[in-house]
Amino acid sequence: MSAAELHEIEPSAEETAHRGLVPVPIELLAPDVVRETLAALGRTEDVRLSPSGKRLAIACYAIDRVAVADVALTAAEVRIERIHFLSSPALGEPHGADFIDDETVVVVGRRSGLGVFHLPPSDAPPEAWDTTPVVAIEAREWLEAPGSVLARRVAADRHELLVCVNWAHEVRRYVLEAGRLSPGAIAVRKWLDVPDGVAVSGDGAWTAVSNHYTHSVFVYDSAALGEDAEPVAVLRGATYPHGVRFAADDRRLLVADAGAPYVHVFAADDAWHGVSYPAATIRVMDDETFERARHNPQEGGPKGIDVDARTKLLLVTSESTPLAFFDVAKTVERPRETGCDAAALLRFELQALAAREESTASAKATEAKVREQLAAIEQSLTWRLTEPARGLYRSARRLASRG
């Protein structure tokens, strides 16, 4: 049975006994023009709050822009009065964005590489938002397709940038200091297969990387990062993990599942280690919304997520849900009281088995084809005519080895 066929299986009543939390969205208060702008964003990838929590950025992959909004968050409501589009020739399929500070954003794009941009004041005219990066690395200097990016302050004028390079299957580390970027170094590579999201804990001790084609998230000891670094924890249960964020004093990790309508909550009591499954499942969209962007098994669910440390609100973006906010404070703090989606975890394991069967079948088919081609070569006239020469060559090799 293929993974596609498994996807169509309807769960039994027993399997659906517990489907996790369905949170009530926090009300968004915004003028019609802001709502219309959000509705027209198309495919989105990452979402990120600025350090003050007063601005947010959304990587708008389909329109080659980054949406930047002024936002006011409380535990009860969210207000957005205006939204701008950062545009530039240096923005091509933006996939990741993060703030250096409230006036500076770093953006990575599949077709454009990395750029650091100064943001205009909120009341600046639209033409002021069409700008060029103050620091940039063009796409040709990358191995392949930069994806998500994380900016982390390590000193007064020094920031660490971690960039997922999707098709090179690695995470690179850059240092931005005094307006200059250091040469990139490999932070993580071993066993990665299209890294799609990266997060660092508040104390800097842990680094989490979502791994698209292994259907898992790797957590590393940050002090041991390097090309051969191995994860200290492997988190399973997300079909196609994307955005990742630490929360609750770094004891929780939230993971957006692009292949399902969920954000998963993983829990560590003391330290991240071993293999674990979600402690809680948060459903962030209904089935109709999910299916609207279900162009393939890897799409439809949430892509970018962030957590506001002040209000504990969860921010979510996806193609069918450009921007949504949820109060998940209790679930993040006590995830086991909410529980996970047992049916989704069972389906995850069945799909993993089916994918392995398909991979094995494909390898066997390739081996059979190679054997068939070799047999055809051995039966060819050219092969038979050159047999004496090959025999002489083998004899010469034996004589040489004896000498």
Write the pLDDT tens digit of every residue in 313-347.
Answer: 999 999 999 999 999 999 999 888 887 777 778 87
pLDDT at 18: 44
Give me the residue label for tokens 């506001």: 308
| pLDDT tens sequence across 266-316 | 999 889 999 999 999 999 999 999 999 999 989 999 999 999 999 999 999
Q: What is the pLDDT of residue 375?
A: 67
Sequence ranges of the domains in the chain: 20-340
pLDDT, one tens digit per residue, over 180-210 is 888 889 999 999 999 999 999 999 999 999 9
Residue 12 predicted with pLDDT over 50: no
User: Is the pLDDT at 91 greater than 80, yes or no?
Assistant: yes
Q: Report d(CA 34, CA 60) in Å as an integer.
A: 15
CB atoms near residue 321 (< 10 Å)? 22
Q: How many CB atoms lie within 10 A of CB 77?
A: 13
Burial grade of 87 (CB within 10 A; 0-12, 13-18, 19 or more): middle
Q: What rounded mean pLDDT belongs to the chain?
A: 86
- Spell out a b/e string for 235-244, using b for 16 or more CB atoms within 10 Å of the CB, else e: bbbbbbbbbb
Residue 135 has pLDDT above 80, yes or no: yes
Distance CA 250, CA 272 (A): 9
pLDDT for 399: 60
The percent of residues above 70 in pLDDT, for the chain, comes to 82
Q: How far apart are CA 130 and CA 401, in angstroms?
A: 71
Average pLDDT score over residue span 53-74: 96
- Give residue 140's pLDDT band: very low, low, confident or very high (50, 70, 90): low
CATH number of 20-340: 2.120.10.30
Taking the complete model, does pTM exceed 0.85, yes or no?
Answer: no
- CA gap 234, 210 in Å, rounded: 10
- Top pLDDT among 345 and 125 is at 125
